[in-house]
Chains A and B, each alone.
Chain A
């Protein structure tokens, strides 16, 4: 650091020169914080997204570095939200990358007192078998003498936090299976 820059870095001088007479703005910035860069500055890409919490639909910018989400911020271009996020939306980095998220399939046997970890593929097979069995076990061709062609054995609940495309497949699959007890948070 040369003498000239040493003098120029003198906070009192910067207070006066940078029209920050009370030293509450940029003049108070230390050398260390001056060299800090936002996490988003080094991101490899920015992916456009939408906040997953309430139904306002705030725009989100998802910052990705080396294949990992490193930060999520409000999208200033959104006419809905103009870059703002609420406490929940601002915490969505923790939602998506936090330690409380589970990454393994867990299975609880009948009457067991603990979980066990099972492979995804095995779980999918077991669930498919159970759907087929319960569907058949509670199948009705008729109710009170009228054709109903349905099963009362299977129910689903959920959908308001899901994508439209996901809800579309859920309704399509379970309707084709003959299930009618298909519901979501619209009532809750």
Chain B
């Protein structure tokens, strides 16, 4: 955090100054470790074992926050007898289908819930048809259904499940959890992660001493946690731990994703993602005769705010197609294109190579350096008819046809490449107005300071005028194919010499308006009859009263510590989500020290420092009538209002593709056997679609050939550079501060391989080979794993062939093997070899990779096994 989010880290230092203990868990010793109370180096790719070990400590030693757990989580819920754990089945859960590499989650259900009626097109019910539709179920899973619940939980069957508030029933979730993690002992943690038991004990004690009524502990992770074939389950493990400790929805608690781009949160909320529509509404999947009603029926929940999904969806369709969207035509629901499986950026690369995808827009992204298996990204682009790159400088994704590594090796020849490339200079943030959503869901407006120079234009300008031109060219078309684009509302006012679209007009549409055109103030005002327009329901309120709430800038010194009048946070300007959990079931703060919101008996309202994330007038003693639905159906002690049952889920009965609980699996390419299960890797990880000669995977554990890749590499960022370098390697200051691609290795590894400090090293995987300068440093700690001394190699991934500072790209080494829930690539843990000296030039570069593949016996089957 001190390296990649240094300004945010000041608050960690503030906490430390007030007595907080700081634990840093990272394979490398960094600036964060230097300021931490304990640094815990661990083997990259083993966090589930580490966190699972802490969960086991908490459960075995009764360190959990019992009242919180009983009242606010699904710990008391009893599962049906059908559920079987990884502990019973040696590494897979019940419902595993090896043929389709997917899970049927019917056996993960709560006992006592009514079986759903076979109406509509519910995704789950395809499985009830005797397996005839397994292909389609797999495709729906592939499309990342879990991700579509980014602001809440998945649907669960109706009814009230059986519970045991004593938490002693053998099949209650609490007991299931206890059994599941029982083998995650300090010894196991030491064997898998390489963390000495004494250090581990210290971590467990600090964490539990600092959690409870009077104290809270926060977890902060950078998105490196997500870049694993089990990435989602990493976060789940932390969520289970934090929930058991009562650290969610409370000040000083939580799990903070420290995201790495100015609006990466915003680009998920208002997604430029294949499987989502704005506000985490799912993109529809292809089914015969699907209507808006059957889509809503399948996707919405009965309880909680997702029960109103129809209102959110209809208001979005009204924002897209305006007056053309009517109740008679299902609000143009048919205009939405349909998914058939995963269409993530990695599938898109495969589609480019196959010649299916012809044209590609890159908006401020540099996949030729920044995406996993960067070579495949470049080869994909070389297969396109045309490519449009919108950026500040001539980044590698714009110039690979001229100076890419494959030109140097002779694998590609410029004259043979038919791709047309357009480079469009982009406007800087100072040259346009708009909002970023930061990592705490806070929207902050940046104002335009000057006009952009020359032909540089904002992406708003580009997209608006491109749409305008396409619509002009297609005007008058009677082809049904062109209806959605011609019927689209696309009439934003423009201003100035450049005809820049008014960003605030777009924000107003995102916020939405009522039938009289008045801006809405809350998503609770949205209707499902087409009388409201709203481009992103979770952002509704950002333009309340016609005022740009994201532009509010009341100085920090003039308001309370929550700073509610600076910018605007979704939803409803709440700064801490689920903050009802900061009060006990009766509505009183768990302790004065940790008071955030509380029930004001006199006024019969929730009050507090933050905006209560709860119906303001709903008493803690409210219990819903049996017939209630939506928000009404949540009781006064259901703080997790986006979940279908208002509870935090220790066990996930539906919504995850790879299991209801996290289990430790080894990374795709690992020098070690899975110490806990015969099942080596995540059995449903996504690898099969990426079978390609340039994406070879490696033997793992004790398989022959794995000895050729004995080290564990992890990629990371430096303070002075940003992702693929497009915004930093062209800046003289930053290029000078970090002038060269390097690897970090321990003195012990340097001695073992003959690597010299400041000399050159060549790093090799089954995909590619790169060279870098060597930094021999004690910051890399050799670890003892499964009784074996092991070494890790740190690789910052910012470099490419262009800019003021150039170098090979670490992502040439990484492969495409993905988390099955969210399609994120595993680049934070992979096995490699390292040798002294520079890599070969020309054709010899590919020959070196081929020789490793031959010696390791690598074929297209390697690493593809379940």
Contact = CB atoms under 8 A, between A and B. Distances in A.
Given A47-B448, A53-B722, A57-B444, A89 B7 contact: yes
A123 interface: yes
Contacts of B211: none
B424 interface: yes
A4 B625 CA distance: 89
A89, A111, A145, A185 pick with most chain B CB within 10 angstroms: A185
Given A100-B804, A149-B335, A150-B338, A53 B262 contact: yes
Interface stretch (A10-18, A33-41, A165-173): A165-173
Contacts of A80: 7-8, 438, 442, 444, 566
A55 interface: yes
B287 interface: yes
Contact of B270 (A50, A69, A89, A168): A168
Contacts of B273: 182-184, 186
Given A108-B420, A165-B510, A173 B345 contact: no
A152 B449 contact: no
Interface in A53-96: 53-60, 62, 64, 67-69, 72, 77-82, 84-92, 94-96
Contact of A123 (B270, B424, B444): B424
A62 B334 CA distance: 46
A88 B460 contact: no
B361 A158 contact: yes
A49 B464 contact: no
A114 B358 CA distance: 22
B272 A171 contact: yes
B340 A187 contact: no
Interface string A80-122: 1110111111111011101011111111111101110001100
A69 B722 CA distance: 22
Contact of A188 (B268, B464, B509, B825): B825
Interface size of B as a range: 35 or more
A56 B394 contact: no
Contacts of A50: 262, 429, 436, 438, 444-446
Contacts of B448: 47
A22 interface: no
Contacts of B270: 164, 167-168, 171
Contacts of B417: 110-111
A145 to B, nearest CB: 8
Contacts of A187: 344-345, 822-825
A57 B442 contact: yes
B601 interface: no
A5 interface: no
Contacts of B398: 106
A181 B423 contact: no
Contacts of A94: 731-734
A25 interface: no
Nearest to B551: A48
Contact of A113 (B415, B421, B503, B555): B415
B365 A186 contact: no
State the majority secondary structure of interface residues on A: mixed
Contact of A157 (B363, B425, B503, B803): B363
Interface string B719-731: 1111100011011
Contacts of B547: none
B779 interface: no
A29 interface: no
Contact of B425 (A62, A68, A102, A155): A102
A49 B730 contact: no
A145 B135 CA distance: 14
Contacts of B260: 54-55
Given A159-B272, A162-B267, A166-B434, 7 more contacts: A53-B722, A81-B10, A107-B422, A159-B271, A164-B270, A165-B435, A165-B510
Interface of A: 45, 47-60, 62, 64, 67-69, 72, 77-82, 84-92, 94-96, 98, 100-111, 113-115, 119-120, 123-132, 134, 136-139, 143-173, 175-188
10 contacts: A47-B448, A128-B466, A152-B357, A159-B267, A167-B267, A177-B484, A180-B343, A181-B348, A181-B357, A188-B345
